[in-house]
Amino acid sequence: MRLTRNSRSDTAKRTPRSTESLPDISLIGAPVAIIGKSADILRVNREFSAFTGFSDYESQGMPLGGILKISQPGKGTSRGKSVLTMKNGIEAHVSYSISTIPETEFSVLTLISKTETAMLQGKLDTKQMELEKREKYIECFREGVLMMITDLDRNETELKVALKNLKETQVQLVQSSKMTALGELSASLVHEISQPLTVIRGLTFGMLRAMQDGGEHNDKVRLIADAASRMEKIVKHLRTFSRSEPPVLSPIDINAVVRDAFLILNDHLLSHSIETILNLMPVPLALGNPNRLEQVIINLVTNARDAMPEGGVLTITTKEETSDGRPFIRLIVKDSGSGIPDDIISRVFDPFFTTKETGRGTGLGLSISLGIVREHKGDIKIESVKGFGSSFHVLIPALSAG
């Protein structure tokens, strides 16, 4: 059906109606028409005219069914799809909505062209995609925040552990500086003690000379003289030991170093119910520093003592051996103590690593000992089984003959 201005002549008998009371739709940006009670078009806007080809004037009075196949509009809003016959006779598929205007007998018809629908659908799709992107972004952001929170939690735990370690290290540092102070104090004590000791020893020897052989008190005075000589030896030894010297290396007998160290260690170990076995075989000379090596022996023996709180057996062995054609001296400090658990054995040489209670261990003994042995171009190896004791093997290169 082709609708023209002429075809409207059939409706020329329509009742003229004042359009002033009709709502103003000129500013609505979509194709809109006001429909009267009997489903005839009362007013269209410019967009509607552009869409259909019918001017406002031509449209007025046209039955809506003449251009758009829809049923009689009911109350409220109804939407649908239909075919629109335009002025040029071309039919177009459109979507529409019809809404009744409250408290009037009019309805508003809004046309949505297929292209517009497609455009709207396109816009909708774009918005949908944007929304999905945003959702993904928000999801990533949420995951990122969660990861950050987890990281923060982990960092906090790590920080707490580091802080705990730092506090322990601080306590150990204080302890080691106390040890240094103690070393200095013992050096000055040694100085104070050695003079009265010389007097005691001199006097007892004088008394022995003056006393008749086989006299009543001879044996007792001799015992005092012997004890004084032994104390003098220890004091002399302590003096050299507490003096901090640069490590000068000279040819030394490691067995002599062990014997010197046990001058001070023997009684101490006995008082801890530790039996000591010295198993010293003849060994070649080594290039070393006796004070430093003695410090190693004292550290290893002190650890052995601590590993045997109920007492036990400490065996010190020295022997010569060859490795890769080069002569070495092997010094073994073996205890029958608690042994070292597998999970800490790799850490015992770490500075400040200790399993001893605060105030007892500094965690420096083994790291210092390893440092000293390395100064001697040697090494320390450990053999230990938890519950069955430990053996510390100190390997020092022997001074090659010639």
By the criterion CB under 6 A, which residues form the site for ligand ADP? Answer: 299, 303-304, 307, 335, 337-338, 340, 348, 353-356, 361-367, 390
Cα-to-chain-centroid distance, residue 189: 48
For ligand ADP, give the closer residue by CB, 73 or 363.
363
Shortest gap between Cβ of 341 and ligand ADP (angstroms)?
8
Residue whose beta carbon is closest to ligand ADP: 365
Closest CA to 257 of 361, 329, 324, 337: 329
Dihedral over Cα of 256, 260, 263, 269: its sign? negative
For ligand ADP, give the closer residue by CB, 290 or 361.
361
For ligand ADP, give the closer residue by CB, 108 or 307.
307
Alpha carbons 62 and 286: distance in angstroms, whole number: 124
Which whole-number Å values give the CA distances from 332 to 117, 137, 286, in the listed order?
Answer: 94, 66, 16
Alpha carbons 294 and 259: distance in angstroms, whole number: 9
Rg of the chain in Å (alpha carbons): 54
Alpha carbons 389 and 114: distance in angstroms, whole number: 92
The neighbouring-strand residues paired with 319 are 330
| Residues 52, 86 contacting (CB under 8 angstroms) | yes
For ligand ADP, give the closer residue by CB, 116 or 306.
306
| Residues 283, 399 contacting (CB under 8 angstroms) | no
Closest CA to 270 of 318, 223, 235, 314: 314
Shortest gap between Cβ of 168 and ligand ADP (angstroms)?
11
Shortest gap between Cβ of 381 and ligand ADP (angstroms)?
13
Shortest gap between Cβ of 296 and ligand ADP (angstroms)?
11
Q: Which amino acid is at 148?
A: M
Shortest gap between Cβ of 302 and ligand ADP (angstroms)?
7
For ligand ADP, give the closer residue by CB, 44 or 340.
340
| Residues 397, 326 contacting (CB under 8 angstroms) | yes
Provide φ and ψ at 319, rounded to 5°: -160, 160
Dihedral over Cα of 186, 187, 189, 190: its sign? positive
Shortest gap between Cβ of 268 and ligand ADP (angstroms)?
16
For ligand ADP, give the closer residue by CB, 36 or 361.
361
Shortest gap between Cβ of 229 and ligand ADP (angstroms)?
33
Shortest gap between Cβ of 213 and ligand ADP (angstroms)?
50
For ligand ADP, give the closer residue by CB, 242 or 303.
303
Alpha carbons 318 and 275: distance in angstroms, whole number: 18
| Residues 94, 82 contacting (CB under 8 angstroms) | yes
For ligand ADP, give the closer residue by CB, 279 or 400.
279
